[in-house]
Amino acid sequence: MFLNNRASIRNPSAEISLFIRRALIAFTTVLMLVLVLMVNLYQIQIKSHEAYQTRANGNRIKVIPVAPNRGLIFDRNGILLAENRPVHSLELVSEQIDDIEATVEKISQIISLTIDEKSQFFKSVKAQRRFKSIALKNKLTSEQVAKLSVNLHLLPGVSIEARLKRYYPFGASLTHVVGYVAKITKKEQQTIIDNEEQARYAATRDIGKQGIEKYYQRLLHGQAGYQEVEVNNRGRIIRVLNYHPPVHGQDLFLNIDIRLQQQAFNMLDGRRGAVVAIDPNNGAVLALVTSPSYDPNLFVHGISTKEYKKLLSRDKPLINRATLGAYPPASTVKPLLALAALENQVISETSYIQDPGWFKLPNVERKFKDHLAWGHGKVNLYRALEKSCNTFFYDLAYRLGIDKISEFMYKFGFGDYTGIDIHEEVSAIMPSRTWKKNRYNQPWYIGDTISLGIGQSYWTVTPLQLANSVAMVASNGKSFTPQILGASQSENGLLQIPAQQRSNIVLNNNDNWRIIHQGMWNVNNSPGGTAFKIFKDAPYASAGKTGTAQVASLSEDVKYDKKKIKERLRDNAIYVGYAPFQTPEIAISVAIENAGHGGSSAAPIARSLFDIYLDKNTSGLSSGLLQVKQKNLDKLGQTL
């Protein structure tokens, strides 16, 4: 078949011109197709250039938030109470890992991982978004960091992150003042979104949960900065294009004196109770101690279930007793009741009663017993305070009546929030007719009034309220909102927080202050005073009042015998006081649950705190803050 056709006659020049025609058509087509390509490329490169440029930048430029450093917390003398320490954690980004389980397995061959850590991690992997990094192990030791670092190139998507974590060097003694920070919960995240603060919190993992850390979260936190970085297709940062530094949180200086805080905490020694010390001149909270307490550092990295269960013990270490504990004030409010009676002219400085050892309402059989079964005999106001004579105050309360008592006590802040700068606070109860009606739907009985005379019945106070009321007494009625925060320091300098004055208590007769001051002086200084032994060799003059609150009501004829009563049913020991007597600088309340008599158990703590605070050799209190400011500026200079 081939051979037959080979012989056909060929016309070379016609074949050439045919070829050239075809080649020209082909070349024209080539040119047209190249034009098509060029038109398309023109569309992409010129017409849509900006859009593609934006997308190219979107590919390569990532904005990474930079967390601000949380402000430090100092006491009034510049002692560091809350600091930030670098902590290394091992983190994984699941998006960048093909087989997470295999990777975790590989890691567990390098460093040991507990089952708890693994399960916690896999739980978070499911819950978190894929491109967010999730911690597999926190608090790496330097040895673990070293071991992991050399193997990191074999583990794509795994990194060691150094973050600043809160550390509380004083541990449990300050937990209920400073509080603590921990991981932001979903609910808190929602609040942040609701407040439109996402940008502020963009790089933040922890948030204040309690105390100062929570109350002043805004000041302490600061504002996140951000950096624009160039990344490659695996998200690795190639270089930083732009850096907007974060605004670091403000450093806070508390009014707290850590020496007082520590001393009170140590003296409480795990017993259940609270101590509050306030400067009567400005409402500065010098100490706010609750016992038992717990180590706040446990919560910073997430507390284990086992550890947390321990904190749910019967002693309730999670409760801030100083502000949440409502105790019957017992005899510690007797000076105030005396003041109310003087103001209402129910008694005078010199009026007296005969105490047979009991008080009886007219026409009622029930006896209200004094603590001395045989009575104090002839008792005036001074003797009644010095000896804490109950009968005198039964009579006094009876004559004042409930309305005048509650009205007068409201002025000293009872039954109301003090407004202290932590969120954990209760108002406790200052009973009145309407309160009882609302609460129990019962009328007020005259017997209720009699018990109020010795700070019992429905009356409860928090140790904070009690200390605050003593501060008002000490300062002749000056009233302040208790302040834990003393000053804050930002880039703009140190800002002193001014005292928050409330309306002063004005008496009809100003001399009445002197009378009850004298009565309280007697308690600490007169040889018969209930706290005389405790204060007898003090280098300063002080005033005070002991209290012993019944926890369980004993029937009328049973004599209180400490040894026979179960520990939990024993009386609460309470003490209030202030010093120095002439120019008060510190007012205090001490409450210890089931510790018995206020004079012997509670007063020694007050004595010890007065000693420390008023010892001018060891304290540089007034100038302390300024020195601290200088010290911290130096420190800042060093770290920068």
Partner 1 sequence: MMSSNSQHHGYARKTSFWKRIHLDIPLLLGILTLMTISLMVVYSATGGSSFMIKAHAIRIGIALLVMFFVAQIPPDTLRRWALPLFVVGVCLLIATLLFGYSSKGAQRWLDLGITKFQPSEAMKLILPIMVAHYITRHALPPKIKHVMFGFIIVLLPTLLIAKQPDLGTSILVASAGFFALFLAGMSWRIILFLAGAISAFIPVLWFFLMHGYQRQRVLTFLNPESDPLGSGYHIIQSKIAIGSGGLFGKGWLNGTQSQLEFLPERHTDFIFAVFSEEFGLVGVALLLLVYLFVIGRGLFIAARAQDPFSRVLAGSITLTFFVYLFVNIGMVSGILPVVGVPLPLVSYGGTSMMTLMLGFGMLMSIQTHRRFNK
Among 126, 186, 187, 234, binds partner 1 (CB under 8 A): 234
Which tokens in the block code for residue 596?
A: 């018995």
Q: How far apart are CA 268 and CA 278, in angstroms?
A: 18
Residue 126 contacts partner 1 per CB under 8 A = no
Residue 569 contacts partner 1 per CB under 8 A = no
Helix or strand holding residue 454 (H, E): none
Within 31-50, which residues bind partner 1 (CB under 8 A)? 31, 33-34, 36-38, 40-42, 44-46, 48-49
Q: How far apart are CA 427 and CA 452, in angstroms?
A: 18
CA distances from 424 to 117, 182, 215, 462 (A): 33, 17, 10, 12
Size of the site for partner 1 (CB under 8 A): 45
Q: Shortest CA distance to 385 belongs to which of 455, 288, 487, 436? A: 455
Q: Which residue, 48 or 198, has its beta carbon nearer to partner 1? A: 48
Q: Which residue, 9 or 506, has its beta carbon nearer to partner 1? A: 9
Contact 424, 320 (CB under 8 A): yes
The Cβ of residue 600 has, within 10 Å, a number of other Cβ atoms equal to: 17
Number of H helices, E strands in the chain: 26, 23
Contact 602, 591 (CB under 8 A): yes
Residue 633 contacts partner 1 per CB under 8 A = no
Residue 242 contacts partner 1 per CB under 8 A = no
Residue 566 contacts partner 1 per CB under 8 A = no
**What minimum distance in Å lies between the beta carbon of 40 and partner 1?**
5
Residue 18 contacts partner 1 per CB under 8 A = yes
Q: How far apart are CA 295 and CA 168, in angstroms?
A: 8
Within 335-484, strands assigned E span 352-355, 358-360, 367-369, 377-380, 479-481
Residue for token digits 């007169």? 526
Residue 240 contacts partner 1 per CB under 8 A = no
Backbone dihedral angles phi then psi of residue 265, each to the nearest 5 degrees: -65, -40
| Among 16-24, 221-229, 443-451, 581-589, the segment contacting partner 1 (CB under 8 A) | 16-24
Q: Which residue, 24 or 633, has its beta carbon nearer to partner 1? A: 24
**What minimum distance in Å lies between the beta carbon of 18 and partner 1?**
5
**What minimum distance in Å lies between the beta carbon of 50 and partner 1?**
9
**What minimum distance in Å lies between the beta carbon of 129 and partner 1?**
15
Cα Rg of the chain (Å, integer): 37
Residue 55 contacts partner 1 per CB under 8 A = yes
The pairing of strands 586-592 and 500-502 is unpaired
**How many CA atoms within 13 Å lie on the side-chain side of 157?**
21
Q: Which residue, 32 or 569, has its beta carbon nearer to partner 1? A: 32
Q: Which residue, 55 or 423, has its beta carbon nearer to partner 1? A: 55
CA distances from 292 to 239, 254, 464 (A): 51, 22, 17
Residue 15 contacts partner 1 per CB under 8 A = yes
Residue 23 contacts partner 1 per CB under 8 A = yes
Among 200, 206, 231, 587, binds partner 1 (CB under 8 A): 231
Residue 13 contacts partner 1 per CB under 8 A = no
Residue 440 contacts partner 1 per CB under 8 A = no
Q: How far apart are CA 21 and CA 19, in angstroms?
A: 5
Q: Which residue, 18 or 552, has its beta carbon nearer to partner 1? A: 18
Residue 131 contacts partner 1 per CB under 8 A = no
Residue 582 contacts partner 1 per CB under 8 A = no
Backbone dihedral angles phi then psi of residue 237, each to the nearest 5 degrees: -75, 125
Among 142, 233, 503, 623, binds partner 1 (CB under 8 A): 233
Residue 56 contacts partner 1 per CB under 8 A = yes
Among 148, 170, 229, 230, binds partner 1 (CB under 8 A): 230
| Among 57-65, 258-266, 436-444, 504-512, the segment contacting partner 1 (CB under 8 A) | 57-65
The 8 Å CB, 24+ separation contacts for 503-512 are: 503/479, 504/477, 504/478, 504/479, 505/411, 505/412, 505/472, 505/477, 505/479, 506/477, 507/339, 507/343, 507/477, 508/343, 509/342, 509/343, 510/476, 512/339, 512/342, 512/343
**What minimum distance in Å lies between the beta carbon of 23 and partner 1?**
5
Residue for token digits 């990094």? 133
**What minimum distance in Å lies between the beta carbon of 102 and partner 1?**
23
Residue 5 contacts partner 1 per CB under 8 A = yes
Q: Is 331 a catalytic residue?
A: yes
Residue 232 contacts partner 1 per CB under 8 A = yes
Site string for partner 1, 58-77 (x = CB under 8 A): -xx-----------------
What type of residue is 484? I
Which tokens in the block code for residue 437?
A: 């009606």
Residue 2 contacts partner 1 per CB under 8 A = yes
Among 22, 85, 205, 439, binds partner 1 (CB under 8 A): 22
Residue 8 contacts partner 1 per CB under 8 A = yes
Among candidate residues 331, 388, 457, 469, the one labeled active-site is 331
By three-state DSSP, how is residue 343 classified?
A: helix
List contacts with partner 1 (CB under 8 A): 2, 5-6, 8-11, 15-16, 18-20, 22-23, 26-27, 30-31, 33-34, 36-38, 40-42, 44-46, 48-49, 51-53, 55-57, 59-60, 230-234, 238
Residues acting as catalytic residues: 331
